[in-house]
Amino acid sequence: MYRNLLAHLSRPTTSLPFETVQAALAHHLAHLSPLPAPLAATAVSSPLFLSHPLTLAKLDALSTAFRHALHIKFDLLKRDAEQRSAVFSRAVRTRLALWVDALIKGLQGGQPIMRLACSTGVILGINDVKLACQGLVENEVVLSLAEVMDLFKHDTFSLPSPSGAGEWEKEFQPQGDLDLLSIALILSSRSLPLISEEKLKALPLEILLQLLTSTISSAFLAGKFLSSPLPESPLMASIAPLSKLSSLAHSLLLDSRPKDGLMTAQATLMTLRELCAHVEADYRTCKQEPESIASAWSTLKTLLFSTIMIAESVLSSIIYVPPTLTTTTIALTSLFALSHLAFVIQRFGGITASGNGFKELKQTVYLALDIIASQGDGEGERFVYELRDRNTKSQDTEEFVLAKKAFVLACVEQLIPVLSPECIERDVWSLCEPHLSAPSHRETYESAHSVVLAMLSNNKNVVERMVPFYTECLIDNSGDGGLDTHQLCLAFSTLVRCACESGDSALGWFPVDSLIREIEGTRTDEKKGKRLRLGLISCVSAVRGVPMLERILVEVRRVLGGSKGKSTGPPVSASDRMEEVERLAEEIVHRVGGVDGEKEFVIRWWSEHRATLAGDREDTESARL
């Protein structure tokens, strides 16, 4: 049987399925005595695997054979150790390590791509059996990849073949054939993450990243896959590990050589930005052909994940690099790339999706925004200005435009603290205002309100002008389909707090008074009435000073029916009333501050009025105060 295997390995073709040859090779590598080096040398130079076309399937079979051989050998050594006396037998892992060394030595002299395939299989097997990674294996993976990269690191492939090179090596340097490079990178994406970082730093990481970026771009047809048919290729199935390898390489390069790392990272992200821009442009022209878009959604999501994975790694690394214009440019480039995929992002609920949402997306966007904000208002304002009306045309669908606006609003909210009043009035307000009363697109609607609250909290210059308008806006959006109870309470509380902090008590009371009048005028809509009452309660901790605190508590008591035995506004069920009383208790105990005697006053007030408000119920939060 061993001779049959050698016979098949010595020919460029075989009548047997590759799976059969793979299994036989793994078996004999594990069982060959005393060491597997001769068979490893035969396999790495076998015409069966070297014959053209050299495909990923062939090298996968070769790599898998070496990986399975390690599993088989490990099992053989364990059984042998069980049969021997423990006194005279060496440790299983020590014997396996010696076997691995012999296996790697047998690869010497083979073509780089073949050695890379074999050593990748070995290191994957080592990882499977939890064997401490062998330095010889790591060295072989790094060295063989470096040799492959050396063939592809130039823009053209007109280098003369080495003296005495065989026909196969001459054909390994074809004019512009990137298939072999893609295969090498796919194999490397499986093995390099398992190698120590110090050894990876010995690789020419800039060149590796250029090749990875080029390969990823070519897999997506440079962003033209919506307008051109995407050919069947194993490359697309390997985008995730390729992107992971790119992330790792960027992190290592930025850690070891920040200056080179920044330049390389910017080049990578600029390529991704251009790629995403092409995709967006084609999406807009293909919108009349929904079947073509539907079939490409898997590819669109893959592109989004790849972009996020690489950008997140770069941004996570550059926060430890001293801020420069380049770091800001990288952050801006990342955001612009993602903005081109806003129509894909909205399928995941957008950046502001509640719950965990797409946490990697959020982390990437917020990292980029933090870096931009750290540079002051100049870069933040440039970003807002460029995105304000960028890439929206009259023929775009409403869904597309709203997805873009939602992305911009989510970003702008985080930049409000560093934007000038002029930028806020000129650029930000025009983005928000049209969406404040348009709840049909929830992400844009909620983001617009979040931006307004950020404006109020961070820019005192707009408070006086905003309070009357935004008070009316919140009341208009308190009905069904508008802001939910939590959002409405947060908005009113923030509005009142900002108005009070302006120093104008009349301005601070305006939203409270408007709420009370709206509650009194709401006679039939019980749900809206409840939301408004809870909104009023949320304002208790927002007012400033004991006089205003006393004034609002009088109104809250009256609204809840604690003064005359009945509430103001629509009828209130017993369960709703107890919920509102408990919310008031929580507001008083946990949120009213201790400034200027406020805490002492509200505790005394609550002690006096708790029984009236709580009625006969003793199991509520209020009764436990």
Q: What's residue 392's pLDDT? A: 65
The 8 Å CB, 24+ separation contacts for 393-400 are 393/284, 395/284, 396/284, 397/287, 399/343, 399/346, 400/283, 400/284, 400/287, 400/343
Under the banding of pLDDT at 50, 70 and 90, the label for residue 238 is very high
| CB distance 418 to 373 below 8 Å | yes
Question: CA–CA distance from 470 to each of 15, 372, 423, 455, 596 (Å)?
Answer: 78, 29, 19, 12, 29
The answer to whether 195 touches 123, Cβ cutoff 8 Å, is: yes
The two structure tokens encoding residue 472: 């009316």
**pTM for this model (two decimals):** 0.87
Q: What is the pLDDT of residue 320?
A: 86
Q: Please give the pLDDT value at position 621.
A: 45
Reduced to 3 states, what is the DSSP secondary structure of residue 463? helix
Is residue 143 scored above 70 in pLDDT? yes
SS3 134: coil
Q: Which residue did the predictor score with more confidence, 17 or 453?
A: 453
Show the tokens assigned to 619: 């199991």
pLDDT bucket at 390, cuts 50 / 70 / 90: low
At 566, is the pLDDT very low, low, confident or very high (cuts 50, 70, 90)?
A: low
What confidence tier does 176 reach under pLDDT thresholds 50, 70, 90? very low
d(CA 282, CA 287): 9
Query: What are the domain boundaries of the chain?
Result: 2-154+175-192, 459-583
DSSP classification of residue 436: T
311, 368 Cβ separation under 8 angstroms: yes
Could you tell me the two tokens for 491? 């908005």
Q: What is the pLDDT of residues 296-342, one digit of tens each?
A: 899 999 999 999 999 999 999 999 888 888 999 999 999 999 999 99
Amino acid in the structure at residue 340: H
Q: What percent of the chain has pLDDT over 90?
A: 62
Residue listed under structure tokens 């430890």:
320
pLDDT score of 185 more than 80: yes
Query: Among 221-235, 371-385, 560-574, which is the least confidently predicted range?
Result: 560-574
pLDDT at 103: 95
Q: Is 545 left (phi over 0), alpha (psi -120 to 50) or beta?
A: left
Cis peptide before 258 (omega within 30 of 0): no
Averaged pLDDT for residues 534-541: 96
Place of tokens 């199991």: 619
290 vs 585: which has the higher pLDDT:
585
pLDDT confidence bin for 378, thresholds 50/70/90:
confident
Go through 47-74 and write b for each residue having 16 or more CB atoms within 10 A of its CB, e for each that does not.
ebbbeeebebebbbbbbbbbbbbbebbb
Q: At CA 33, angle to CA 81 and CA 29, rounded to 5?
A: 95
What the block records as the tokens of 238 is: 């390997």
What is the largest distance, in Å, between two alpha-carbon atoms of the chain?
Answer: 105
> Closest Cα to residue 114, out of 148, 151, 149?
148
CB atoms within 10 A of CB 291: 8
Is the per-residue pLDDT at 288 higher than 70? no
State the Cα–Cα distance between residues 96 and 90, nearest whole angstrom: 10
